[in-house]
Chains A and B, each alone.
Chain A
């Protein structure tokens, strides 16, 4: 069986869609989602968001803000108090100083901030380098901004880290931006300061602007110190530091992200943001203030929970022959399914049909994700346990049929 094709309800008027939008391929994750939607009793390890509700003190602060009638627009850049909290948080967590008055912009999730940065930076034909497998939006967002996406493959052997020599090969005279995301969705890869150094040098030498998506940077394990490329020498002035509250604070639905960058670039991004969005919703901004100012304990609790589930699922998968490293960050494992003899897509579809477990095929995150599936452990332990039992049954069936 293949993925269900898109449905058309009417064809009375033929509306012409702009070429550059029409030519964007449908998201592989969306296709898979539509198949899952048609089934009952599915245990999903395909969800890229925390299974926790936002910590109560944060929800309560938002309710209080609503009670006080805080329901209006905010300044385009975001509430000053939130920008100060962001500036403090980035300084405390990463050692980076940004002026809350002119170097911080509050956006509708990191996704919007990425779009703003790319649109503010790219002229048509400019090339943007990013590492793959990666988050599904990168290539389409680059294309929509008029840029040309240039993927650099990362491999399981390197722990899905970005290698300077691979980056160097991808650089051309049109290269303008490097986009990175560590810890990585979907691979859980992390980079050390030493690994960043030669990459940072390349960026300086080739005058690249760096977009670093730090959304998982608090979801890290085993006491590993997260290293951001933004802290490398010479990088702060050429980096857009992108972060948000969705993952670490379990605040996906609030849609609050932010960008920190040199004032000139923030000003340019703000020009687009003010006309497209005006401002991020004030309810989310008020909640974000509470989260950043008093949320440290809450995120530590969730982080610890993810760490334990990661231990559990990594061991269970490896025991079944679906080999994977223990990821140092994010809430994803990206096991190899080569022992099954199936492609990622076959594996995901058959596992779904035969055992009702959803894991996203690695190819949804780029061609280099072939041979892998993404399992999210942002799901309760009971569900993870049952899922692992079902996967074991699935593999047993495969082996018996061989």
Chain B
């Protein structure tokens, strides 16, 4: 299982027959293991990693720190899930430290992002304060560097 997850994280599109050869197992074994991971909700989905310098360049990404008042029953869960349900919110984490929630918001442009913060996020009861940071440039995302190391030039035959 660990090895299959490892391969999927490197490249979810890798042909399953290749995976079977790499792990020295049968194709059917690999396929059923992946099906099981999906059924059990261990694998939640597969996504492409987009280079934002080249596609949808107008889109903005904001990292928003949110301070909230925890509730007596359920702590942060109710407010967090309420925030997470907004389509603009790509990710939502509860953190230790100076603020409570970190959310990552994607919006078509700056105006939309600002509107989301001022009209939706800040007005939720229990949200005390927010601080918004806009992404200026991406260097690495989900383990993928946006600027590639140049492939080292190797001699074509060496002992």
Contacts and interface: CB of A to CB of B under 8 A. Distances in A.
Co-assembled chains A and B: yes
B158 A312 contact: no
Contact of A316 (B6, B21, B158): B21
Given A311-B21, A312-B21, A385-B18, A49 B154 contact: yes
A138 to B, nearest CB: 11
Contact of A47 (B22, B149, B154): B154
B156 A36 contact: yes
Contact of B157 (A36, A308, A381): A36
A226 interface: no
A231 to B, nearest CB: 27
A51 B3 CA distance: 21
Contacts of B159: 27, 29, 48, 135-137, 185, 364
A35 B148 CA distance: 31
B139 to A, nearest CB: 13
A135 B158 CA distance: 11
B23 interface: yes
A385 B21 CA distance: 11
Nearest to B158: A48
B11 to A, nearest CB: 9
A330 B21 CA distance: 19
Contacts of B154: 47, 49, 51
Contact of B24 (A44, A48, A311, A381): A311
B152 interface: yes
A53 B157 contact: no
A32 B149 CA distance: 29
Interface in A45-88: 46-49, 51, 53
A296 to B, nearest CB: 18
A199 interface: no
Interface in A333-384: 358, 360, 364, 381
Interface string B58-85: 0000000000000000000000000000
Nearest to A27: B159
A42 B155 CA distance: 12
9 contacts: A27-B159, A32-B157, A46-B158, A308-B22, A311-B22, A312-B18, A312-B22, A316-B21, A381-B18
